[in-house]
Chains A and B, each alone.
Chain A
Amino acid sequence: MSNLVEGATGPWEVVVGLEIHAQVTAQSKLFSGAATEFGAEPNSQVSLVDAGMPGMLPVINERAVEQAVRSGLGLNAKINTYSVFDRKNYFYADLPQGYQISQYLQPIVGEGIVSVDLEDGGSTDIGIERLHLEQDAGKLIHDQHPRKSHVDLNRSGLALMEIVSKPDIRSAAEAGAYVRKVRAILRYLGTCDGNMEQGSMRADVNVSVRRPGEDLGTRAEVKNVNSIRFMQQAIHFETTRQIDILEAGGSIVQETRKFDAQTGTTRPMRDKEEANDYRYFPDPDLLPLEFSDDFVEKIRLTLPELPDAKKRRYMDDLGLSDHDAAVLVSDRDIALFYEAVADGRDAKIAANWVQGELFAQLARAEREVADSPITAAQLGGLIDLIGDNTISGKIAKDVLEIMFETGRDAAVIVADKGLKQVTDTGAIEAEVDTVIAANPDKVAEFQGGKDKILGWFVGQIMQATKGKANPQLVNQLLRDKLKP
């Protein structure tokens, strides 16, 4: 599949690099003991350190270090056992210290690789440039006063991992797949909850265009985009904007831009319009961050099976198709749900039910697997009822719908509604005889070689038994009785 974009003067290639800011899952902040929970009262989760009070000093949270190493391992990246915290100096109302403690020249994690599945079934590798630890800023609220902005420092000092990709992404679709994959990996690792609405994952999107085969063009950076859809809109908008400028003979200004979700467009950021000079230097309040290889190896031993390995296993050991496996490993919650359903059951049937019927119900209800009203055990129970011929697959679909609405067990619903399928040969035989006797013309057609008429007979009998007759049995009996 070609990613080239056709302009008025010929094809263009889009080049995208992403800086994902992922909030580290931890109880307390990167350099203070204040809590990290979302949605608290303003300035209630703020320590003196987070408020930049005079004389306050940072002390690093060991959990943040572990989580960064864990994430680095999950991204197949080099772990740097010696790294340095720097100050990035700039003024803004949400930045109490007047600098952000970040890592500049020597980050905790170096180069890595993420393999991304594409919509056409192929896959591509996106390079990771680095992952570093840094502090989040506070939040500005603009809608409470006509002439003032309000500052809430609850987010100030939260631990973030900034994951910087190489400029390896060539389309909005690839960018979306990449973010989904990184998000999945972090969620598997338990290092970031990936909740984009609550701001625990955001991306800065660097977009440039060039003629195929040429050097990188000048890029624009769209800041703080907080959904995959917005990110893709921003890439589309930037692509068109930049191509239009270049084709009209203009040139691209390197600048930071803000995405407007209302219009799907980007515009230069007012306060950052000037070229920033961050005056990075090593934070003299902190010593270099050092740990042993042993520390890294201990963390490596606790890594869960990650999506790529899981997908390979689903295909190789469980015999799932590439598509089914990809869908089921795309999120940790889905994989765990699926594995609970498949436990002790036919893996393919379990896969069909999870990503077929259950997903359809979830999509209709706009719910995630994590809050599915049907538990994995309950779905397993339903599949078991099919397996032991208590109900047919068709009936099972109806049962699943009722389970989804009521949360009741399949067996209870089947018993309650009398949906147990008829497997009594005598009862079915009687229905078969009745239908054959009433339709001698159809019998003659069948016997004359029109095999397809068999389906009509099956339908008649299923109708008569309200779908409860065991379909295999009906087929068997019909074939026997219709033989000339």
Chain B
Amino acid sequence: MSQLTNLTISQARDLLAKGELSSRQLTESHVEAMAQATQLNAFVSQLPDVALEMAEASDSRRAGGSAGPLEGIPLAIKDLFCTKGTLTMAGSHILDGFKPPYESTVSDNLWQAGAVMLGKTNMDEFAMGSSNETSYFGPVQNPWRGRGDNRALVPGGSSGGSAAAVAGRFAMAATATDTGGSIRQPAAFTGTVGSKPTYGRCSRWGVVAFASSLDQAGPITRDVRDNAIMLGAMAGYDPKDSTSANVPLPDFEAALTGDIRGLKIGVPKEYVLDGMPGEIETLWQQGIGWLRQAGAEIIDISLPHTKYALPAYYIVAPAEASSNLARYDGVRFGLRVPGGDLREMYENTRATGFGAEVRRRVLIGTYVLSAGYYDAYYLKAQKIRRLIARDFTEAYETVDAILTPSAPSAAFPFGDKADDPIAMYLNDIFTVPANLAGLPGISVPAGLSAEGLPLGLQILAPAFDEETMFRVAGVVEQAANFTAQPEQWWKVPA
């Protein structure tokens, strides 16, 4: 049944509708693939029983004549989404044993649409990381390996488990979250499609918070069409989230017309970096060519404050995180490490429960908010943020979308950047500006590096114009014709 795991959602949807396939069959094949890939460590919880039960329920719903837009489709859920009664730890020891008595709005939307849950995917601790090396559950391995190279590679992060599960064909699609690039960068590293919608498009209710003003949920899928289908099911106004946008939800799939004639595509000069591998630059030029050929007008633009996005992000995100993570204190849920008094209990619990990167960011965040430093750091960063958002607003007066590389390199081996936080942070240099400005962006696999590793192109669009984003992404996808797949070296005999 291995061919079933190669289906896209839209293909499976047609077969299911015609009765040529049951959700049970589809789910079983993915459960099997998931079980055979344990060494990739993409899942923190595999839930075969839940999956099969949900698949059967889906088949009976369909038999009863009702089918949602994702009816019977087996998905993986990033462990940042709270799932009712199912262990949810956000990749952190500090949430030891936590079983939320509630379901996140996004995952609930998916179940309402008929989807099936295969399991919870591994991730960087509290979504803080770009290589999945910060997870309490150990790193996720990228299904891809360099040509003739047996070294294990990072899948990107923080949604590395979700990206690996989709790339490795154990899940048809996965939920993910993106605070500074955590959907788009792992998608680029794994040859998958990952989109971050406009801030406010997906509810944050029930998603373990990292940085509230930047966090957005989005899907990782095998192709652009699936991505549009998934986002349509995940998104929507939620009165339980004060930052959820009460705007109409378009039919994203319908936006995939393939027609971008006359569209103006911006190419920002500030995204050319010193020391960026030539193949990234080449890929970008290729992408520009594809869009021009499809009838778009290419316009050189300037986003002058781009270089300040990353340092501003590393003030704003840690500041919010230092506060969001204060609730992990060993009192009401999760890990408690005893101490002689309350303060010692707090300090022991948080010292043991948080890993090095989380600890580093909480300390930075605490520092930049502390008395005497707030104006110099936090307020300054909020002002820079305004300038970055303005850059985009001005650019979108002349262009409809922007094309950039997704990441400055292909996937790298474990340990390569682990000792150098800033080198690690630079992974997100192309993705972070969209988070600061709250704008939608998508990464589409567009080619292979010299070592045979996937590379992605990013399409950015104005706020709440995911339709243009998907339309352009669809054209890039078609032109790139990216069909490469990782070899399934991880498979153990069933």
Is A in direct contact with B (CB under 8 Å) within the complex? yes
A91-B329 in contact (CB<8A)? yes
Instruction: Name the residue on B nearest A279 (C-beta).
Output: B369
Q: Judge whether B209 is part of the interface by a CB distance below 8 angstroms.
A: yes
In whole Å, how far is B55's beta carbon from the nearest beta carbon of chain A?
27
> Which of A283-291, A453-461, A474-482 has 4 or more CB atoms under 8 Å from chain B?
A283-291
B206 touching A55, Cβ below 8 Å: yes
Q: Closest Cβ of chain A: how far from B301's Cβ, in Å?
A: 29
Bound-state Cα–Cα, A60 to B242, Å: 8
Choose, from A93-101, A106-114, A192-200, A336-344, the stretch at the interface. Answer: A93-101
Task: Flag A154-175 by CB within 8 Å of B: 1 or 0 each.
Answer: 0000000000000000000000
Q: Does B90 contact A (CB under 8 A)?
A: yes
CB–CB A48/B242 < 8 A: no
Interface hit among B95-103, B188-196, B290-298, B458-466: B95-103
List B contacts of A230 (CB < 8 A): none
B371 contacts A53, C-beta separation under 8 Å = no
Selected A-B contacts with CB under 8 Å, 9 pairs: A55-B208, A57-B204, A57-B240, A89-B326, A91-B346, A97-B326, A277-B370, A281-B323, A285-B243
Chain A residues lying within 8 Å of B211, measured Cβ to Cβ, are 284
Any chain A CB within 8 A of the CB of B28? no
Would A54 and B332 count as touching, CB distance under 8 A? no
Given A53-B100, A53-B102, A93-B342, do A59 and B326 touch, yes or no (CB 8 Å)? no
Residues of chain B within 8 A (CB-CB) of A285 are: 209, 212, 242-243
Q: Does B213 have its Cβ within 8 Å of any Cβ on chain A?
A: yes
- Residue of B242, B342, B370 near A57 (CB, 8 A) is B242
**B80-117 interface (Cβ within 8 A of A):** 82, 88, 90, 95, 98, 100-102, 104
B308 at the interface (CB under 8 A from A): no
Residue from A59, A87, A279 in contact with B242 in the complex, judged by beta carbons closer than 8 Å: A59
Contacts of A151 in B (CB 8 A): 331
Hey, which chain B residues are within 8 Å of A60, CB to CB? 242
- Smallest CB-CB A-B distances: 4 pairs: A98-B326, A279-B369, A284-B212, A284-B213
Q: Are B82 and A54 in contact (CB under 8 A)?
A: yes
Interface assignment of A56: CB less than 8 Å from any CB of chain B? yes
* Additional pairs, 7, CB under 8 Å, beyond known A52-B332, A93-B342: A48-B102, A55-B104, A55-B208, A59-B239, A59-B240, A91-B329, A279-B366
Find the A residue at minimum CB distance from B238: A57
User: Is the Cβ of A98 less than 8 Å from the Cβ of B242?
Assistant: no
> Is A68 in the interface zone, CB < 8 Å from B?
no
User: Do B204 and A279 touch across chains, with their CB atoms under 8 A apart?
Assistant: no
Query: A97 to chain B: which residues have CB within 8 Å?
Result: 326-327
> A59 contacts which chain B residues (CB < 8 A)?
239-242
- Nearest chain-B residue to A149 (Cβ)? B342
Q: Main secondary structure on chain B at its contact with chain A? A: loop
A48 CA / B79 CA spacing, docked (Å) = 19
Interface residues on B, range: 35 or more
A89 to B324, CA, bound (A): 10
Interface string of B59-90 (1 = CB under 8 A from A): 00000000000000000000000100000101
Please, how many angstroms separate the alpha-carbon atoms of A96 and B326 in the complex? 9
Q: For the complex, give the distance between the alpha carbons of A141 and B239 in Å.
A: 35
CA distance A197 to B98 in the complex (A): 38
A25-70 residues at the B interface, CB under 8 angstroms = 48, 51-60
**Minimum CB–CB distance for A277 against chain B, Å:** 5
Interface residue B354 (Cβ < 8 Å from any Cβ of A): no
A104 smallest CB distance to B (angstroms): 11
Q: How far apart sit A281 and B371, CA to CA, in the bound complex (Å)?
A: 11
CB distance from A321 to the nearest CB of B (A): 53
CB pair B332–A51 under 8 Å, yes or no, is: yes
Complex: A271 Cα to B346 Cα, angstroms: 13
The reply to whether B205 and A87 contact each other, CB–CB distance below 8 Å, is no
A97 CB, nearest partner CB in chain B, Å: 5
CA of A208 to CA of B265, assembled, Å = 66
Known: A91-B346, A281-B378, A286-B242. A54 touches B327 (CB 8 A): yes
Give Cα A161–Cα B209 distance, bound, in whole angstroms: 28
Query: Is B477 in the interface zone, CB < 8 Å from A?
Result: no
Complex contacts, B331 vs chain A, CB 8 Å: 93, 96, 151
Q: How far does the alpha carbon of A89 sit from the alpha carbon of B104 in the complex, in Å?
A: 26
Contacts of A57 in B (CB 8 A): 204-205, 240-243
Q: Residue A56 contacts which of B205, B319, B329, B343 (CB distance < 8 angstroms)?
A: B205
Task: Indicate if B207 sits at the interface (CB-CB under 8 A).
Answer: yes
Identify the closest chain B residue to A140 (Cβ).
B342
Determine the distance from Cα of A87 to Cα of B320 in the docked complex, in whole angstroms. 10
List the A residue with the shortest CB-CB distance to B371.
Answer: A277
Given contacts A54-B208, A55-B207, A151-B331, are A87 and B323 in contact (CB under 8 A)? Answer: yes
A58, B327: Cα distance in complex, Å: 15
Tell whether B482 is near chain A: CB-to-CB under 8 Å. Answer: no
Contacting B at CB under 8 A, from A82-139, are: 87, 89, 91, 93, 96-99
B327 touches A96 (CB 8 A): yes
Interface string of B214-249 (1 = CB under 8 A from A): 000000000000000000000000011111000000
* Docked-complex contact A279 and B208, CB < 8 angstroms: no
Nearest Cβ on chain B to A314's Cβ, whole angstroms: 46
A280-300: contact bitstring with B at CB < 8 Å (1 yes, 0 no)? 110011110000000000000
Q: Is the Cβ of A96 less than 8 Å from the Cβ of B323?
A: no
What is the CA–CA distance of A285 and B332 in the complex, to the nearest angstrom?
21
Q: Is B414 an interface residue (CB 8 A)?
A: no
Q: How far is it, in angstroms, between the C-alpha of A279 and the C-alpha of B371 when the chains are bound? A: 7
The answer to whether the Cβ of B425 comes within 8 Å of any Cβ in the partner chain is no
Give, as a whole number of angstroms, the nearest-CB distance from A275 to chain B: 9
A55→B209 contact, CB < 8 A = yes
CB distance from A291 to the nearest CB of B (A): 15
In the complex, A410 Cα to B296 Cα: how many Å? 95
What is the CA–CA distance of A53 and B324 in the complex, to the nearest angstrom?
A: 11
A98–B323 Cα distance when bound, in Å, is 7
With both chains docked as a complex, state the minimum distance between the C-beta of B449 and any C-beta of chain A, in angstroms: 37
Q: Are A287 and B323 in contact (CB under 8 A)?
A: no
Contact residues in A for B242 (Cβ distance below 8 Å): 57-60, 285-287
Alpha-carbon gap, A50 to B323, bound state (A) = 16
Could you say which of A89, A96, A287 contacts B332, with CB atoms under 8 Å apart?
A96
A residues less than 8 Å from B205 (CB atoms):
55-57
Chain A residue at minimum C-beta to C-beta distance from B212:
A284
Asked if B396 lies at the interface with its beta carbon under 8 angstroms from chain A, I say no
- C-alpha spacing A284/B207, complex, angstroms: 15
Chain B residues positioned under 8 Å from A287 (CB to CB): 242-243
Q: Compute how far the CA of A479 lies from the CA of B323 in the bound complex, rounded to whole angstroms.
A: 89
B326 to A281, Cβ gap below 8 A? no
With A59-B240, A87-B323, A286-B242 already in contact, the answer to whether A53 and B333 are too (CB < 8 A) is yes
Name B295-353 residues within 8 Å CB distance of A. Answer: 319-320, 322-323, 325-327, 329, 331-333, 342-343, 346
When distances are taken between beta carbons in the complex, the residues of chain B under 8 Å from A271 are 342-343
Q: Is the CB of B82 within 8 A of A281?
A: no
* CB neighbours of B332 from chain A (8 A): 51-53, 96
A100: min CB distance to chain B, Å: 11
Bound complex: CA A54 to CA B319 (Å): 17
